[in-house]
Amino acid sequence: MATKKVKEEAEVTEVAEAEEVKELQKATKKTAKAAKKPAQPKAEDEEKEPMAPKEEAPVVKEAPKPVEDPVEVSVEQKLVALYTLQQVDSKIDEIRAYRGNLPLEIQDMEDEIAGLETRIANFKEESKKHQKDITDFKIKIKETEALIKKYEEQQNNVRNNREYDSLTKEIEYQQLDVQLSEKRIREITAKDNEVTAKVAEAQLRLTELRASLQEKKEELQSLVEGTEKEEEQLLERSAECEKLVEERLLVAYKRIRKNARNGLAVVGIFDEACGGCFNRIPPQHQLDICTHKKIIVCEYCGRILVDKGIIAQYNA
């Protein structure tokens, strides 16, 4: 009986030890799983520390599209406008050439008159200075003569020859000073006479110039009155033609026109040659000009070329 009781106690002990081992293994596995999982923030920490806002992607705006001209001008219309502009500008040149060199002559006269007036004013200032110098020398002569008279009176009261000789030398010195002042007066008077003659000559020239200037101005005024209205109309038409030509062509037209001797920047084709430099134009270029697909310039003089069709449209 005792042996059986011992065996039962041994079995109970083994079962208890086995259960302890299982509990230990379970605790070890839980610890390992807890170590593998990251620590999650607490709800209170999330409330205290707000999340940083996410950066939004920048919005790329599209570049504005260029506004197209509502009216599209064809190459043929541009050529007609250029040829019309050339004819209008040529007529304006003729009107201004009709006036001749009158504007330049009037400008030259006005410049010469201004120069003469300045010259006369300078001469008058110089003459005033001369008169002042002459007056100063005359005053000096009077003062010197008074000293001479004083020394001569003192000679009558001298006590010895030494004082007499000293007064005599002083009188001679003052007399020389008077002679020098008189010489200076004569020199200044001669210069003043020359200045006076120059002033009179300049005044005469000034009177002639003023009369001639008045005549030139009246002549120019009569010419301007006869052509002023026509010139204003041509200038308005020129501005209208410029609106039909793009800026690049207009700048080229003005540059060619400025460099050309006769002011022609747009010319026609006559006898298969350029109307500006009279050099022969190749047949292919003539064909390109007649098609009005693009603007063709002379390869010799750089002028813009148009055919008879463009000229006919202008005349119509």
Note the pLDDT tens digit of each residue in 3-22. 444 455 555 455 556 566 56
Work out the pLDDT band at 25, boundaries 50, 70, 90: low
Cα separation, 103 vs 107, in Å, equals: 6
Half-sphere exposure of 140 (CA within 13 A, CB side): 18
227 vs 95: CA distance, rounded Å: 7
Q: What is the pLDDT of residue 41?
A: 44
- What local confidence, expressed as pLDDT, does residue 31 receive? 55
Residues 179-206 have pLDDT tens digits of 999 999 999 999 999 999 999 999 999 9
Four-way CATH pick for 99-228: 2.40.50.110, 1.10.287.1490, 3.90.1170.50, 3.40.605.10: 1.10.287.1490
Amino acid 56: pLDDT = 46
- Give residue 22's pLDDT: 63
Summarised one tens digit per residue, pLDDT across range 205-221 is 999 999 999 988 888 88
Q: What is the mean pLDDT of residues 20-32?
A: 60
- What are the residue boundaries of the structural domains of the chain, listed by start? 99-228, 247-315
Q: Is 302 exposed, middle or buried (0-12, 13-18, 19+ CB in 10 A)?
A: middle
Reply yes or no on whether the pLDDT at 240 is more than 50: yes
* Interatomic CA distance for residues 95 and 66, integer angstroms: 42
Query: What confidence score (pLDDT) does residue 76 get?
Result: 87
3-state secondary structure the chain: CHHHHHHHHHHHHHHHHHHHHHHHHHHHHHHHHHHHCCCCCCHHHHHHCCCCCCCCCCCCCCCCCCCCCCCCCCHHHHHHHHHHHHHHHHHHHHHHHHCCCHHHHHHHHHHHHHHHHHHHHHHHHHHHHHHHHHHHHHHHHHHHHHHHHHHHHHHCCCCCHHHHHHHHHHHHHHHHHHHHHHHHHHHHHHHHHHHHHHHHHHHHHHHHHHHHHHHHHHHHHHHHHHHHHHHHHHHHHHHHHHHCCCHHHHHHHHHHHHHCCCCCCEEEEECCEECCCCCECCHHHHHHHHHCCCCCECCCCCCEEECHHHHHHHHC
State yes or no: pLDDT of 272 exceeds 60. yes
pLDDT tens digits for range 61-93: 444 444 344 346 688 888 888 888 899 888 888
Of the pLDDT bands very low, low, confident and very high (cuts 50, 70, 90), residue 58 is very low
Share above pLDDT 70 across residues of the chain, in percent, rounded to a whole number: 77
Q: If you average pLDDT over each of 58-67, 222-231, 265-274, which comes out highest?
A: 265-274
Label the pairing between strands 304-306 and 266-270. Answer: parallel
Of the listed ranges 18-27, 42-51, 113-122, the one predicted with least confidence: 42-51
Mean residue pLDDT of the chain comes to 79
Close Cβ partners of 286 (under 8 Å, ≥ 6 residues apart):
269, 272, 307
Cα angle 155-160-162, degrees, rounded to a multiple of 5 = 85
Q: Express each pLDDT in 94-141 by its tens digit.
A: 887 777 778 888 899 999 999 999 999 999 999 999 999 999 999 999
